[in-house]
Amino acid sequence: MDYSMLVMLLKDLVILPFQDIKIELKDEISKKIIKVSSKKYNNRVLIVSPDTDSINPSIKDLPNVGVVAVIKSKLELSNGNLRLTLRGEKRVKILNYKAFNDDIISAYVCDIILPKFEVKGENVIKTKLKEILNAYIESSPNISNSILKVVDENDDLGFLSDAITTFLPFKVKQKLNYMQEVNPEKRALSLIKDIKLEIRYNELEEKIDNNVEIRLTKEQEEYYLKEKIKELESNLGKDAFNDDKITNYLNKLNSLDIDKKIYNKLKENIDHLKNLTTNSPEHGVLENYLDWTLNLPWNTLSKENLNVKSVLTKLNKSHYGLDEIKRRIEDYINIKNINPNINSPIICLVGPPGIGKTTITESIAQALNREYYKISVGGLNDSTELVGSRRTYLGSLPGKIIQAIKKCNTKNPVILIDEVDKMVRDYKGDPASTLLDILDSTQNKHFIDNYIEEPFDLSQIMFVLTANDTKDIPYALYDRLEIIELSSYDIFEKVDIAKKYILPKIYDEFDMKRKINIKDETIMYIINNYTKEAGVRELERVLKKLITKVITSSKSLSVSEIEVVKYLKEGEKLENKEITESGVVNILAYTNIGGEVTRIECAIFNGDEKVILTGQLGDVLKESVMVAISYIREKNYVSNTLFYNHTVHIHFLESAIKKDGPSCGVAIVSVILSKLLDIPISNEISFTGEISLKGDLIKVGGIKEKLISAYNYGIKKVYIPKDNEKDLKNMPKTVLDNLEIKLIKNYDTIFNDLFNKEKK
Ligand code: ADP
């Protein structure tokens, strides 16, 4: 039967069945494991010894055998430590490990069922084991023979092998192997071998002692004295150095304006350091800890610039548009001027890459006169990266938050937490919930990093988060954020950004006195032919390259299409090629780089009555195709016989990219009808919308992005669901002015528009 238990990792400590061990626990997590195990797991805990020298073992270093131990007694000592007696009960097989919570691991285990052993063979092994044990005790004068009684009174091979292993002075590593070997016969045979070796060592030692005792003693004495003097000398020098350090630490501590409790704790640590010799490992660990802790900006703040006008001027100077975030900062300053104690907002900027999320945050920090630091949490699956690991682990460090604070050296920086929609939740814990504790102003006043151990106030930090997609932000987190959605730029906005922001930035960087003469149309040409993005990052890179080429290779500082073609490699031209054949349509897609126009094609030919789909489609998209076909057949738009003995093949272009989602339904119906009726659909027309079996158009997402890209691509007319009408409200005017947007309730309308007039 499987059951779960909490795991206690004990490195360098072996416990075997029937063996009692006494341990003293200092750290809170181990104490918690014992507390929960006493209450909920029938006083039992699973002891596991990591199979690695690493101080911070990962799950893959953990073995698949552990020992269940009963908590026989526990006593809380006056210094807060917990003293325990554990008794090993049995080995169990570990099926898997998982996170019980942020700090504790639990494991699914099952009992081990051993095969039946042959009685005769087992008896031979037992006799041999007892014989060899006797011989060993005789050969070692310092070893008690109490084990012989235990061995005489018991006959179970499993018990015997464990009892003897406990008794013998083997190394920990060696004992670990015995802990993890579940087969008693194998354990007994290894024991016979290992005891034989011990006997050999004993004999050898005796021989050496007898032969070389007198000669070695004199030399040894000299050597020993020399070493002792060396050690004393070095300690004298080092201690003087250590005294200096301790004085420095004390001075630093006294200069800090901190809570009395924290002061006392740090003082205790400094006092403890005094008593350690400089070459002990603990000395290094403690020194590192004091260097971190005493150098945190416990009370250092930047003086915030709360002048609305100056802040907005700076933001407008660095970034085009992004009005909503600029307004939010304006509100924040106005409120803070009235009530200096308000908390900073937790803003989350959501939108495709390259639209200014990171750099506007950096500008906000600069404008407010706060320090700035960026932490990336994309792919992060381990909460300890945020909150640090306990300093008992060698090489442990504070988490990213405290590291950021230390780098900024103030306690009120702007911290950007990038890619919160790409954190991963797995057995190591749930970083989103840890992040929530960090951001939550009711809790973060007393944030405790596992390494620092003392509470540090994070409440004055302004956190700005970024994500590409709201739907991937962990829900608990999403609930607490002020989401500000930023969308892609249309081509006119991009030209504006290039002229007013990117080019001046490049001139500045290159220290150019004379400006480049470049027309708007040339910038548009570059955007259309050399970039494919929602933001302007690529555009910035291309312009920089172009200008470098111009200033290094030509006298004239004028740039036209000729220079562009000459200096830049032919990029992928985003050409909206004319459509002359039936069975091809432009569709509007929404990807994480923004909106995009791509194509689908349909072929119908004699063959089995089936549907072929290509272009890496997900399940939802495959279902859209089925719905489209059933709708066309039921509706009798074309003779149903056209489907008999025919194969329908639908291909989505850009086949290297995976696609999914319901929003192509309308386009799929259109491409199939175009093919069946043999009526081409112009390349200036496009579609987006989910379709029901009855032909109703259902609302879809990403309308703004899709229409901007349709416009940029040269599309003139788009069909979208009527239910998406309200998305048109915050659409750029140029897009609305130049696109004919048809709001559709049912596909009938599209059919009449595109096909019916031609239908005989
Ligand atoms: P994101 O964080 O959204 O991926 P970045 O902040 O890194 O984007 O911006 C990429 C580049 O584009 C930066 O060099 C930035 O200066 C420029 N940029 C983006 N948006 C704007 C804007 N609205 N005004 C001026 N420059 C911008």
DSSP readout, 433-465? HHHHHHH-TTTGGGEE-TTT-SEE--TT-EEEE
Pick the most confident of 240-244, 385-389, 513-517, 574-578.
Answer: 385-389
Q: Report CA torsion sign: 26, 27, 28, 33.
A: negative
Residue 112: its H or E element: none
Q: Closest Cα to residue 301, out of 524, 444, 425, 461? A: 461
Does the domain at 308-485 match CATH 3.40.50.880? Answer given as no
pLDDT digits (tens, 9 = 90+) for 265-320: 898 888 888 877 766 667 778 888 888 999 999 988 999 899 999 999 999 998 99
CA distances (Å), origin 141, targets 145, 184, 198, 288 = 10, 29, 13, 46
State the pLDDT at residue 120: 76
- Main-chain phi, psi angles of 522, to 5 degrees: -65, -40
Buried residues in 663-678 as b, exposed as e (16+ CB within 10 A):
bbbbbbbbbbbbbbbe
State the pLDDT at residue 666: 96
pLDDT digits (tens, 9 = 90+) for 607-641: 888 999 988 888 888 999 999 999 999 988 888 78
Which mutation among 317, 350, 355, 422 tests ligand 1's pocket best, with the greatest number of atoms within 8 A of CB? 355
Q: Is pLDDT of 381 > 90?
A: no
Could you tell me how many residues make up the chain?
760
State the pLDDT at residue 645: 87
* CA of residue 172 to ligand 1 center, whole Å: 57
Pick the most confident of 198-212, 244-258, 294-308, 483-497.
Answer: 294-308
Residue with tokens 């049912």: 746
pLDDT digits (tens, 9 = 90+) for 26-41: 888 889 999 999 998 9
Q: Does ligand 1 lie within 6 Å of residue 687's CB atom?
A: no
Q: Is pLDDT of 357 > 60?
A: yes
Q: Is pLDDT of 695 > 90?
A: yes
The answer to whether 425 and 474 have CB atoms below 8 angstroms apart is yes
Q: What is the pTM of this model?
A: 0.58
CA distances (Å), origin 206, targets 140, 143, 144, 426 = 10, 15, 19, 56
Closest atom of ligand 1 to 361 CA is 6
Whether residue 706 lies in the annotated active site: yes
- pLDDT over 70, % of the chain: 89
From the candidates 383, 704, 706, 709, give the one annotated as an active-site residue. 706
DSSP code for 429: B
Q: Is pLDDT of 725 > 70?
A: yes
How far apart (Å, rounded) are the C-alpha atoms in residues 452 and 295?
11
Return the domain boundaries, the chain.
3-111, 119-208, 243-294, 308-485, 491-568, 584-754
How far apart (Å, rounded) are the C-alpha atoms in residues 700 and 233?
79
State the pLDDT at residue 241: 52
pLDDT higher at 169 or 306? 306
* CA of residue 502 to ligand 1 center, whole Å: 9
Closest atom of ligand 1 to 356 CA is 6
Dihedral of the alpha carbons of 13, 17, 20, 25, in degrees to the nearest 10:
40
Q: Is pLDDT of 675 > 80?
A: yes
The architecture in CATH of the region 491-568 reads: Orthogonal Bundle (1.10)
State the pLDDT at residue 542: 85
* CA of residue 728 to ligand 1 center, whole Å: 25
Q: Does ligand 1 lie within 6 Å of residue 504's CB atom?
A: no
Alpha helices in 181-258 (DSSP H): 184-255
Closest atom of ligand 1 to 362 CA is 6
For the domain spanning 584-754, the CATH number is 3.30.230.10
Dihedral of the alpha carbons of 513, 514, 518, 519, in degrees to the nearest 10:
110
State the pLDDT at residue 657: 66
* CA of residue 214 to ligand 1 center, whole Å: 82
* CA of residue 612 to ligand 1 center, whole Å: 42
* CA of residue 354 to ligand 1 center, whole Å: 5
Q: Does ligand 1 lie within 6 Å of residue 594's CB atom?
A: no
pLDDT higher at 108 or 171? 108
State the pLDDT at residue 403: 92
Average pLDDT over residues 245-260: 86
Q: Are strands 646-652 and 20-25 parallel, antiparallel or unpaired?
A: unpaired
Listing DSSP states for 463-489 in one string gives: EEEEES-GGGS-HHHHTTSEEEE----
- Across all residues in the chain, what is the average pLDDT? 84
Closest atom of ligand 1 to 418 CA is 2
Listing DSSP states for 114-164 in one string gives: PPPPPHHHHHHHHHHHHHHHHHHHHH-TTS--HHHHHHHH---HHHHHHHH
Pick the most confident of 91-100, 138-147, 277-286, 562-571.
Answer: 91-100
Q: Is pLDDT of 387 > 90?
A: no
Q: Is pLDDT of 498 > 80?
A: yes
Listing DSSP states for 36-95 in one string gives: HHHHHSTTEEEEE--SSS-SS--GGGS-SEEEEEEEEEEEE-TTS-EEEEEEEEEEEEEE
Which range has the worst mean pLDDT, 10-19, 369-378, 566-575?
A: 566-575
pLDDT higher at 220 or 602? 602
Q: Does ligand 1 lie within 6 Å of residue 358's CB atom?
A: yes
Whether residue 663 lies in the annotated active site: yes
Q: Does ligand 1 lie within 6 Å of residue 357's CB atom?
A: yes
Residue 234 binned pLDDT confidence (cut-offs 50, 70, 90): low
Q: Is pLDDT of 547 > 80?
A: yes
Give residues with Cβ within 8 angstroms of 566, minimum separation 6.
none
pLDDT digits (tens, 9 = 90+) for 513-532: 777 788 887 888 888 777 87
Q: Is pLDDT of 358 > 90?
A: yes
Q: Does ligand 1 lie within 6 Å of residue 294's CB atom?
A: no
Q: 3-111 adopts what CATH topology?
A: 2.30.130
Which range has the worst mean pLDDT, 199-213, 576-590, 722-736?
A: 199-213
Residue 67 binned pLDDT confidence (cut-offs 50, 70, 90): very high
* CA of residue 536 to ligand 1 center, whole Å: 6
pLDDT digits (tens, 9 = 90+) for 566-615: 777 765 556 678 888 999 999 988 765 567 888 999 999 888 889 999 88
Residue 242 binned pLDDT confidence (cut-offs 50, 70, 90): low
State the pLDDT at residue 759: 46
pLDDT digits (tens, 9 = 90+) for 173-199: 888 889 889 898 899 999 998 888 888
Average pLDDT over residues 543-568: 76
How far apart (Å, rounded) are the C-alpha atoms in residues 596 and 588?
6
- pLDDT over 90, % of the chain: 30
> How many C-beta atoms lie closer than 10 Å to residue 627's C-beta?
18
State the pLDDT at residue 719: 96
Residue 683 binned pLDDT confidence (cut-offs 50, 70, 90): very high
Average pLDDT over residues 122-148: 83
Q: Are strands 462-467 and 347-350 parallel, antiparallel or unpaired?
A: parallel
From the candidates 663, 670, 686, 709, give the one annotated as an active-site residue. 663
How far apart (Å, rounded) are the C-alpha atoms in residues 358 and 231?
55
Q: Does ligand 1 lie within 6 Å of residue 536's CB atom?
A: yes
Q: Are strands 717-721 and 646-652 parallel, antiparallel or unpaired?
A: unpaired
Q: Does ligand 1 lie within 6 Å of residue 322's CB atom?
A: yes
The answer to whether 416 and 370 have CB atoms below 8 angstroms apart is no
Which mutation among 359, 493, 531 tests ligand 1's pocket best, with the greatest number of atoms within 8 A of CB? 359
Q: Closest Cα to residue 183, out of 131, 96, 121? A: 121
Q: Closest Cα to residue 356, out of 505, 212, 247? A: 505
Task: Tokens for 273, please give them.
Answer: 């350091």
> How many C-beta atoms lie closer than 10 Å to residue 517's C-beta?
11
Give the 3-state secondary structure of residue 611.
strand
DSSP code for 302: P
Q: Does ligand 1 lie within 6 Å of residue 560's CB atom?
A: no
Average pLDDT over residues 376-401: 81
pLDDT higher at 275 or 497? 497
State the pLDDT at residue 217: 58
What's the farthest any 2 CA atoms get from each other in the chain?
A: 121
